[in-house]
Structure 1
Amino acid sequence: MSESASKALILGSSGLSLTEDEKAFFRGERPWGFIVFARNIAEPDQLRDLAAEMRDCVGQPDAPIFIDQEGGRVQRLRPPMAPDYPSGAALGALYQHDREAGLRAAWLMSRLHAFDLLSYGINADCLPVLDVPVEGAHDVIGNRAYGKTPAIVAAMGRAAMQGLQDGGVLPVIKHIPGHGRAFADSHHHLPVVEASLDELRAHDFPPFAALADAPMAMTAHVVYTAIDKDNPATTSRHAVDHIIRGELGFDGLLMSDDVSMKALSGDFASRTDAILAAGCDVVLHCNGLMDEMRAVAARAPVLSGRALERAQKAVIGLGMRDDADEVQVRNEFASLMEAVA
């Protein structure tokens, strides 16, 4: 795939197929990738057609199309298009009972996600969740997390990431440098974390450092007062340069969480400027509202330099699959989860 003319954007769309306005807009702006949600999903052929329409607009037959397909309550594909999968916490419970079984289940479930997603033309999954919750934190992460210790989260996250990659799907670790300590939902409010750097280094950062070789990461719309008391990580140059790139060692493609979330302030032009000035490579806009997308796209540059290099590297493994048998993988996963149940 050539990203030479792609803009530093991942965009959503409004419905089950692209409107004429959306087609013209995407052709003109050429986002690097797209993202789909439940509003975009009705039945198999419709979703395949939507994915094809998106790629046709940008002239890229393998353009990344993202989805949040974690399992548990965050799962955009539902029966009959994909099974209901267990939450990260359910997999973590198996790990605590039997470490090897837990790791195997995490790999198997991600490998199944890859089978599911690629069958509909989706080739990128915003998974694994590497956040480590603390007691009393907001439930926005909750049972999406694999556990409450960084060692469990890192080990399970590695297995989950590998399962996606082995299935030819691009993984995205989230929410760097850690959303598990937040006492507010960043979809609606700006969380402020007042933990010390030592606390963050001991509890929140380790899973992200352990998976610093991930091809992509999504930022957290969270203020860490020990890092930058004025800006959430998404718009903090210090957080990106010194923590995410520096201390954690992540050098993959860095995408913002959704620019339309209420945790961010200002209009969409200023939000986009702040995200890019902080050092994020790609801006994510999810809700498909055209006026907002136009404002974001007007401020987003064509991918170039290190951002372009990271984007090109991120997609190298797309479509490169192992020889796993889907029926065998499903049967093995079901057996493991039945045992813990």
Structure 2
Amino acid sequence: MAKGGARRSRAAFGAAALVGVLLSGCTAPAAPEPAPAPTVRESPPPVDPVVQYAADRLSTMTLDEKIRSMLMLHLPGLDAPALGAIAAAEGVGGLILMGSNVPDPPEALATLTPALIVEDGLPLLLAIDQEGGVVRRVPTDTAPSAIDLRSLDPSAARDAFATRSAMLARLGVSVNFGIVADVTGDPASFIFDRSMGATAAEAAPRVAAAVEGEHGTVLSTLKHFPGHGAAPGDSHSGIPTTSMGLDEWRSTQEEPFRAGIDAGAELVMMGHLQFDAIDPQPASLSATWVGILRDELGFDGVIITDDLGMLSDSGRADLADPGSNAVRAVAAGTTMLLFVHPVDVAGIVAAIHAAVDDGRIDEALIDDAARRLLELRRTLSGQTGRFVHCFEECQSIIE
């Protein structure tokens, strides 16, 4: 090859190399990063004003005030302003109206119950035993009772309790301890005339229909969990006891309670009866039975004892002390304690307070019970405003 050709080839190669070097530093611009998606701010779920009210109020209550709110008392007589003043002074959450509280004519009760509303935004739970038939505090109630409903279509139970609850609402009553979910086919049982079926399958649809009849008019209560039909004897004079096991209970006693809960009953009353094979103490003091009610039957409402005075009067030494019974009931997870006979309220409160202090009762149980009751009572008021608490400095200005 001629030297000139070689020089030209080397020159061409060098030029090509130079172009390659120059191009190697010249890259296409990178694609722009995609813009971040705009942040979507989800609105917080709306706050239930009743739940908010209860939370706000609970945060201002002392332990003793919470405990007092868990008590339902009976105060005899027809002087409603005096009864309301006592209830307010004791700080209790409810009153049960017995025969001594029902005037003649019974319709006059409607003029007395307004005086029992000691706080407009948080009314007391005003309860009554109005089953119809042999258990009725308002004697003019002629709607069919349980013994009649046994042989009728369940729709008759719905109609009977719709009529009954409308009458109670007119009289100013907010809670009916009226729906018996106990099952028995034994005419000798004290609960026979008050039961809506000889079997669970017979009673369950009638119990559910009774709850549906009361719904939206008064608060419904199922009683007496876990079922007096399983045990011989009368809890007004002793503690009925049975050896029935849990599987048998489920197949023979559970269904009416489950049906009533599914229908929307707001309260369940614990009975003073004992299933030795399940828990060797009365169901009204049993965390086991409360757990079955909450966890297996899915009940999220208010659990109230039957009259705790019945335990003290049962003749059993281990149940003689009202304060001890109250402590055991609260420790079991009960929401509200019912006392029909006179009771030392300060003593009951002190006993429960002491049990919190020494660890026998978790204070969270007290808070849970007080919150449930605040929510239920606030719902009855129909009000939706926030709770405003006037602390000492504010109160001194007002006074």
Judge same fold: TM > 0.5, yes or no: yes
Q: Which has the higher contact order (CA 8 A, sep 6+)?
A: 1
- Structure with bigger helix share is 2
Task: Select which of 199, 204, 210 maps to 2:248.
Answer: 199
Matches within 5 A, 1:275-294: 275-287=329-341, 289=342, 291-294=343-346
Matched, 1:274 2:328: yes
Structure-2 change in CA distance of 1:69 and 1:23 (3 Å): closer
Contact 1:134 1:181 in 2 (8 A): no
Counterpart of 1:32?
A: 93
Matched, 1:11 2:78: no
Contact 2:129 2:177 in 1 (8 A): yes
Matched, 1:92 2:150: yes
| Residue identity matched to 1:224 | F
| CA distance in 1: counterparts of 2:167 and 2:379, whole angstroms | 17
Counterpart of 1:55?
A: 117
Counterpart of 1:73?
A: 134
User: How large is the RMSD of aligned CA atoms in angstroms?
Assistant: 2.6
Structure-2 change in CA distance of 1:151 and 1:315 (3 Å): farther
Matched, 1:149 2:203: no
Structure-2 change in CA distance of 1:246 and 1:137 (3 Å): farther
Which whole-Å deviations, capped at 9, do the CAs of 1:68-96 have from their partners, x for residues lacking one?
111110111012xxx323321211111xx
| Residue identity matched to 2:159 | L
Structure-2 change in CA distance of 1:192 and 1:111 (3 Å): same
Structure-2 change in CA distance of 1:45 and 1:103 (3 Å): closer
Task: Select which of 373, 376, 381 maps to 1:311.
Answer: 373
Structure-2 change in CA distance of 1:104 and 1:313 (3 Å): farther
Contact 1:70 1:87 in 2 (8 A): yes
| CA distance in 2: counterparts of 1:220 and 1:130, whole angstroms | 11
Matches within 5 A, 1:1-341: 4=57, 7-18=69-80, 20=82, 22-42=83-103, 43-44=105-106, 46-56=108-118, 58=119, 60=121, 62-79=123-140, 83-94=141-152, 102-135=153-186, 138-139=189-190, 141-166=191-216, 168-213=217-262, 214-229=265-280, 231-241=281-291, 243-261=292-310, 262-263=313-314, 265-287=319-341, 289=342, 291-299=343-351, 305-314=367-376, 318=380
| CA distance in 1: counterparts of 2:147 and 2:106, whole angstroms | 29
Contact 2:121 2:381 in 1 (8 A): no
| CA distance in 2: counterparts of 1:85 and 1:165, whole angstroms | 17
| Percent of residue pairs bearing the same amino acid type | 31
The Cα shift of 1:259 comes to 0.8
Structure-2 change in CA distance of 1:292 and 1:17 (3 Å): same
Structure-2 change in CA distance of 1:269 and 1:293 (3 Å): same
| Residue identity matched to 1:150 | A
Contact 1:174 1:218 in 2 (8 A): yes
Structure-2 change in CA distance of 1:179 and 1:254 (3 Å): same
The Cα shift of 1:124 comes to 1.0
Q: Which has the larger radius of gyration?
A: 2
Contact 1:170 1:314 in 2 (8 A): no
Contact 1:256 1:282 in 2 (8 A): yes
Structure-2 change in CA distance of 1:134 and 1:248 (3 Å): farther
| CA distance in 1: counterparts of 2:147 and 2:345, whole angstroms | 35
Any gaps of 5 or more consecutive residues in structure 2? 1-49, 354-362, 383-399
| CA distance in 2: counterparts of 1:220 and 1:50, whole angstroms | 30
Contact 1:138 1:182 in 2 (8 A): no
1:65 is paired with a residue whose SS is strand
Contact 1:88 1:146 in 2 (8 A): yes
1:174 is paired with a residue whose SS is strand
Structure-2 change in CA distance of 1:311 and 1:74 (3 Å): same
Structure-2 change in CA distance of 1:315 and 1:59 (3 Å): closer
Structure-2 change in CA distance of 1:44 and 1:78 (3 Å): closer
Counterpart of 1:98?
A: none
TM-score where L is the length of structure 1: 0.80
Which whole-Å deviations, capped at 9, do the CAs of 1:32-57 have from their partners, x for residues lacking one?
1111011111134652343223222x
1:258 is paired with a residue whose SS is coil
| CA distance in 2: counterparts of 1:249 and 1:73, whole angstroms | 31
| CA distance in 2: counterparts of 1:105 and 1:64, whole angstroms | 27
Contact 1:137 1:183 in 2 (8 A): no
| CA distance in 2: counterparts of 1:201 and 1:113, whole angstroms | 30
| Residue identity matched to 1:9 | L
Structure-2 change in CA distance of 1:177 and 1:160 (3 Å): same
Which whole-Å deviations, capped at 9, do the CAs of 1:198-235 have from their partners, x for residues lacking one?
21111011221233342210001111012112x10111
| CA distance in 2: counterparts of 1:282 and 1:17, whole angstroms | 25
